């Protein structure tokens, strides 16, 4: 039976419950992280914990634990569930309040840790790549709600993903309100053109993905020029390679976007090299 951590205690999965008055449920008022464990080691642990605390700070939540305590709780939860290769979902909610949205009435934020097996994309997707469409739903404006905050309110991304379902594709490209490419509904996006790896800058209004940072670092170390710059749909259509990356997906090639076949329609050499090096790293 899976054990779930809630505010310092471990509960059986069936008994792991939080109040219907928690503002995480009532308003999506909270933040989260998705983290991988490979071979008994938490991948990019410090980076994820730092981002969790920054997300919380950005929305004025004081996590009632130190970073060290959160890491210890995460390690304990993984251990008790005997998980060496898996996925951790860390959540911090605003906590219990009343039906009004006033966060001041929520006394104590709740910390929840779910450690489980990872649900991977089917293996053929890594060999053949994915088809994408551009969603009509724009990424929410960063001054309205910064995508840098990994908040519990993912409706913007869900609305875009639903457009993907309508079009029978698994992922979608989201643009910002200036029409530049931001990211996918749950992954960052990168392209290769004439040997240069390009990805939208954080200022385009994206979640600054930890896998994205890792891939840029790997590419830089292997001598590839890496640029963070604004990307248009045109740039995607005429790219030599396009791929997405994220904690759960790792690296997946996009071989068709809005009906345009990217290059020869197969995952490209830079993608293959980066995926190989990423897998070596983890
Ligand atoms: N963008 C969005 C909107 C995400 O939800 C995620 C995480 N799944 C990413 C990008 C990738 O971030 P990371 O590499 O840190 O998982």
Average pLDDT over residues 142-162: 98
Q: What is the pLDDT confidence band of residue 186, given thresholds at 50, 70 and 90?
A: very high
For ligand 1, the distance from its centroid to the CA atom of residue 209, given in whole angstroms, is 5
According to the model, what pLDDT value does residue 81 have?
A: 97
**pLDDT tens digits for range 41-57:** 999 999 999 999 999 99
Check pocket membership of 186 for ligand 1, CB cut-off 6 A. Answer: yes
For domain 123-281, the CATH class is alpha beta
3-state secondary structure of 45: helix
Sequence ranges of the chain with CATH classification 3.20.10.10: 123-281
Q: What stretch(es) of the chain map to CATH 3.30.470.10?
A: 3-116
The answer on pLDDT for 121 being more than 90 is no
Helix (H, G, I), strand (E, B) or coil at 73: helix
**Contact of 170 with 120, CB cutoff 8 Å:** no
* Top CATH class, 3-116: alpha beta
d(CA 61, CA 111): 11
Residue 282 buriedness (CB in 10 A; 0-12 / 13-18 / 19+): middle
CB 241 within 8 A of CB 191: yes
pLDDT exceeds 90 at position 261: yes
Residue among 118, 188, 217 to mutate when testing ligand 1 (max atoms within 8 A of CB): 188
Residue ranges of alpha helices (H) inside 197-252 are: 210-221, 233-237
Residue 13 appears among annotated catalytic residues? no
- Closest to 186 measured CA to CA, from 141, 99, 244, 225: 244
Instruction: State yes or no: pLDDT of 253 exceeds 90.
Output: yes
Model confidence at 274: pLDDT above 90: yes
Residue 118 pLDDT grade (very low, low, confident, very high; cuts 50, 70, 90):
confident
């Amino acid at each position: 039976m899976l054990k779930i951590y809630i505010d310092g205690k471990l509960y059986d999965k069936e008994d792991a419950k939080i109040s219907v008055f928690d503002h995480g449920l009532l308003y999506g008022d909270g933040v989260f992280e998705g983290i991988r464990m490979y071979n008994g080691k938490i991948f990019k642990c410090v980076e994820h914990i730092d981002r969790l605390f920054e997300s919380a700070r950005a929305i004025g939540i004081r996590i009632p634990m130190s970073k060290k305590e959160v890491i210890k709780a995460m390690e304990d939860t993984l251990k008790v569930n005997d998980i060496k290769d898996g996925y951790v979902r860390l959540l911090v909610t605003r906590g219990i309040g009343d039906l009004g949205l006033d966060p001041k009435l929520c006394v104590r934020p709740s910390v929840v840790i779910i450690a489980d097996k990872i649900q991977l994309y089917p293996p053929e997707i890594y060999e053949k790549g994915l088809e994408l469409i551009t969603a009509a739903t724009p990424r929410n404006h960063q001054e309205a709600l910064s995508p840098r905050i990994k908040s519990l309110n993912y409706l913007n991304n869900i609305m875009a993903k639903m457009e993907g379902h309508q079009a029978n594709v698994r992922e979608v490209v989201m643009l910002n309100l200036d029409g530049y490419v931001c990211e996918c509904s749950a992954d960052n996006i990168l392209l290769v053109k004439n040997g240069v790896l390009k990805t939208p800058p954080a200022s385009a209004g994206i979640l600054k993905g930890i896998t994205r940072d890792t891939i840029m670092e790997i590419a830089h170390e292997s001598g590839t020029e890496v640029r963070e710059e604004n990307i248009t749909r045109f740039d995607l259509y005429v790219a030599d390679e396009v791929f997405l990356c994220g904690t759960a997906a790792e690296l997946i090639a996009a071989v068709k976007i809005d009906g345009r076949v990217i290059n020869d329609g197969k995952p490209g050499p830079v993608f293959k090299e980066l995926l190989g090096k990423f897998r070596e790293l983890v």
